[in-house]
Amino acid sequence: MIVRREEYSVGILKFDNKMEEQIQNLRNQALARIMAIVSMEEIEEAKLEYLGRSGKINEVTRQIPSLEPERRSVVGQLINDAREAIEQALIAQITEIKNKTDKNKWFDPTVPGNKPQIGHLHLVTQAIEEISSIFREIGFSRARYPEVEWDWYAFESLNMPHDHPARDEWETFFLDTPENPKLGKMVLTPHTSNGQVREMERVKPPIRMINIAKCYRRQSDVSHIPMFHQFEGLVIDRGISIVDLKGTLDYFARRFFGSERKTRLRPYHFQFTEPSFEVDITCGVCKGQGCKLCKAGWLELGGAGMVHPNVLRAGNIDPGKYTGFAFGWGVERTHMMKSELKMDDIRTLYSSDLRYLRQF
Structural domain contains residue 117: no
- Judgement on whether residues 222 and 179 belong to the same structural domain of the protein: yes
Position 114 in a domain:
no
In a shared domain, residues 292 and 324? yes
Average pLDDT score, the chain: 83
Question: pLDDT tier at 103 (50, 70, 90 boundaries)?
Answer: low
> Which of residues 228 and 355 earns the better pLDDT score?
228
Residue at 108 is within a domain: no
Whether residue 127 is found in the same domain as residue 72: no
Does residue 153 share a domain with residue 71?
Answer: no
Q: Are strands 141-143 and 207-216 parallel, antiparallel or unpaired?
A: parallel
pLDDT at 104 > cutoff 90? no
The pLDDT of residue 280 is: 87
Residue 165 lies in a domain: yes
13 assigned to some structural domain: yes
Please indicate, yes or no, whether residues 136 and 182 belong to a single structural domain of this protein. yes
Which residues on adjacent β-strands are paired with residue 227?
A: 216
How many folded domains does the chain comprise? 2
pLDDT of residue 170: 66
Q: What CATH number is attached to the domain comprising 350?
A: 3.30.930.10
State the amino acid at position 7 in one-letter form: E
Amino acid letter for position 317: I
- 189 and 254 both lie in a single domain: yes
What confidence score (pLDDT) does residue 349 get?
75
Residues 253 and 338 both lie in one domain: yes
127-136, 217-226, 345-354: range with lowest mean pLDDT: 217-226
Spatial contact of 281 and 337, defined as CB atoms under 8 Å apart: yes
Residue where one domain finishes, among candidates 48, 75, 103: 103
- Claim to verify: residue 157 and residue 69 sit in the same structural domain: no
Indicate left, alpha or beta for 307 from its phi (over 0: left) and psi (-120 to 50: alpha): beta
Residue 42 lies in a domain: yes
Residue 44 structural domain: 5-103
CA distances from residue 174 to 86, 99, 177 in whole angstroms, order as listed: 76, 66, 9
pLDDT in tens, 45-72: 888 888 888 888 888 888 888 888 888 8
Distance separating alpha carbons of residues 38 and 303, to the nearest angstrom: 81
User: Does one domain contain both 290 and 348?
Assistant: yes
Shared domain check, 177 and 73: no
Average pLDDT over residues 7-34: 68
Look at residue 196 and tell me if it is in a domain.
Answer: yes
User: Whole-angstrom Cα distance, residue 263 to residue 243?
Assistant: 15
Q: Is 111 contained in some domain?
A: no
Q: Spell out a b/e string for 314-352, using b for 16 or more CB atoms within 10 Å of the CB, else e.
A: bbebeeeebbbbbbbbbbbbbbbbbeebebbebebbeee
